[in-house]
Structure 1
Amino acid sequence: MAQYAALKANVSLLGTKLGDTIRNQLGDAVLQRVEQIRLLSKAARQGNEQQAEQLKQVLTSLSDDELLPVARAFAQFLNLANLAEQHHTISQAGQNTIEKPQPIDELLEKLQQQQVSTEHVIAAVENLSIELVLTAHPTEVSRRTLIHKLSEIAGCLEQLEQQHSAEQQQVIQQRLFELISQAWHTNEIRQQRPTPVDEAKSGFAVIETSLWQAIPEFFTPVR
């Protein structure tokens, strides 16, 4: 669909840069294996039973030396695709094409339908208690360094949306490749059980990459 053209372009760009990284680090054979699995998976998802069976055969035939790089390749691609999707929701292209929900309007309409009094609504809002809670989740394995790399990659996508000269675009593209290469070399899985200090540092990453900029902007009055 046309409304997702920018998103698809960014996913393709990040996937290409990741492919270049895999080729440089592991050679064409690994990249071709990853691409074969990707294409077979896409065909199988569309209902092609023959391709689905071939996909099973390819996956079961992977050697021990192939398993880890292939798994990491798809894990990294999913990270980058998710990043592109998150960026799209706040990008200029996304703002112009995404249908935005209006939860406050919907809530007020529902309250009106249920004949909830204005005084009751005001009292409920005044009694709200909103607190920041940073918790450790067993599925959250992203290292702090990787989170920072992904944040910088998102920054490159934002820069590419702006009007730059061909030379500037090339510099940004090169930086994007460097960041994806660095992310590839970042071990995502901890070798040791995280300590409370490690968990606290993960919370710091949320503050550094999001809240540190967002909260002052939220409380700064528009002039």
Structure 2
Amino acid sequence: HISDDADTETNLLTLKAFTTYFHLVNLAEEHHRVRVLRARDRAADIDPVADSIADAVFTLRDHGLTPQEVQALLDQLSVDFVFTAHPTESKRRSVLEKLRAISATLQRVDSEDVSPRDLDEAYVELQTQITLLWLTDEVRVKKPTVIDEVRNGLWFFSGTLFNAVTETYRSLEEGLASAYPDHVFRLPPFLKFGSWIGGDRDGNPFVNNAVTSATLALHRELARENLENAVMRLMWEMSLSVRYESQIESFLNDQRERFPYSLRQLEEDHPDQPYRQALGAIVAHLNDDRIYANGDEVLHDLKRIEDSLARSKATLLAEERFASCRWMLRRFWKRLPIWKRRRRCWSRC
């Protein structure tokens, strides 16, 4: 209870203290939940973890569903999440970033192989991040614009959902392969995202054509940026030498014919490393809207590279490293959520 005699400054500090306290309590609770799930995962051994995606697939199998019946369920599956600029969500991105940094440091503290020195450094980092959180204003000084709200919504894609979506599909693929090892399933992109932010002309008088156009541009740019980063990570990993792999030459010959200058530069930067050259070409193409008309064309180029790895008896490398890029392309190519325009009715862009 705050005293009725307390001045405004004291009241504000008290509210700030409680807000910060509950931020940290919620983080600790989430972190403990993850710790429990990991412990279950280690204890499960062969059987799937209770309440996991794999556990759900095994339940279907144990109830007698055939692979064909499971495929029919997958073909009908659709999960649609819609983002709104909710008035009760007032956290600044600066606060969200601080909370994310604290969460990452907690993971370091909980690591099984953390050294005493690393642990000391992590505790200092925790104190630093909590201090920064305390000294950061909880709410914005000025009212956010619609574009500010759009950027806040997209923050969750860049920070969380890109990875979460690919991990969800990966977990489902692994669960299906374990429960039905003799069947190859076709996974549709059933996770879908929508957003009212920047398109709610029925409920927000500040949304106009210019705002909507800027919203779509922000969606496209963030999708392109994240896809480019994913392919670039692959590029830096694929340091295979030409002495050990020659199957990629057909793809590189096509690139030399179509884009001689870009490939020449890649060959100079990464001599005798054909996979870095091939993936570098895709990164360059993602920066040019004139080259890839749709996600299928990007997938086609990635598939050629992946197939060449498989022919070189590096199938595990291909499957593990390319899966995330495939799912990001299928779900997020050229846009993030399906933007929804509302003017007296629901519609899809």
TM-score interval for Structure 1 and Structure 2 normalised by the shorter chain? 0.5 to 0.7
Distance in 2 separating the partners of 1:218 and 1:108: 16
Q: Does 2:46 align with 1:96? A: no
| More strand by percentage | 2
Q: 1:136 is matched by which residue type in structure 2?
A: A
- Pick aligned residue for 1:202 from 134, 143, 152: 152
Contact 1:143 1:189 in 2 (8 A): yes
Match of 1:25 in 2: none
Three-state SS of the structure 1 residue aligned to 2:3 is helix
Distance in 1 separating the partners of 2:99 and 2:85: 20
Q: Choose 198-207 or 158-167, whichever is displaced more.
A: 158-167
Distance in 2 separating the partners of 1:76 and 1:218: 31
Where do 5+ consecutive residues of structure 1 fail to align? 1-55
Where do 5+ consecutive residues of structure 2 fail to align? 42-48, 171-318, 322-349
- Pick aligned residue for 2:114 from 157, 164, 171: 164
User: 1:36-92 deviations in whole A, cap 9, x for unaligned?
Assistant: xxxxxxxxxxxxxxxxxxxx4x6334332210011100001101111111122222x
Contact 1:146 1:188 in 2 (8 A): yes
Distance in 1 separating the partners of 2:30 and 2:52: 19
Q: Does 2:89 align with 1:140? A: yes
How many angstroms does 1:157 deviate by? 0.4
Match of 2:26 in 1: 82
Q: In the comparison of the two structures, how many residue pairs are matched?
A: 165
> Could you say if the C-alpha distance between residues 103 and 168 of structure 1 is closer, same or farther in structure 2, counting changes exceeding 3 Å?
closer
Distance in 2 separating the partners of 1:150 and 1:140: 15
Distance in 1 separating the partners of 2:56 and 2:158: 33
Q: 2:99 is matched by which residue type in structure 1?
A: L
| More helix by percentage | 1
Distance in 1 separating the partners of 2:93 and 2:139: 11
Contact 1:146 1:183 in 2 (8 A): yes
How many angstroms does 1:108 deviate by? 9.2
User: 1:111-138 deviations in whole A, cap 9, x for unaligned?
Assistant: x99xx99988764542233344322111
Distance in 2 separating the partners of 1:78 and 1:156: 18
Aligned-residue RMSD, C-alpha: 3.6
**Percent of pairs identical after alignment?**
28
Kindly indicate whether structure 1 or structure 2 has the higher relative contact order, using CA contacts under 8 Å at least 6 residues apart: 1
Match of 1:64 in 2: 8
Structure exhibiting the larger radius of gyration computed from Cα positions: 2
Contact 1:159 1:172 in 2 (8 A): yes
Distance in 2 separating the partners of 1:137 and 1:146: 17
Distance in 2 separating the partners of 1:195 and 1:134: 16
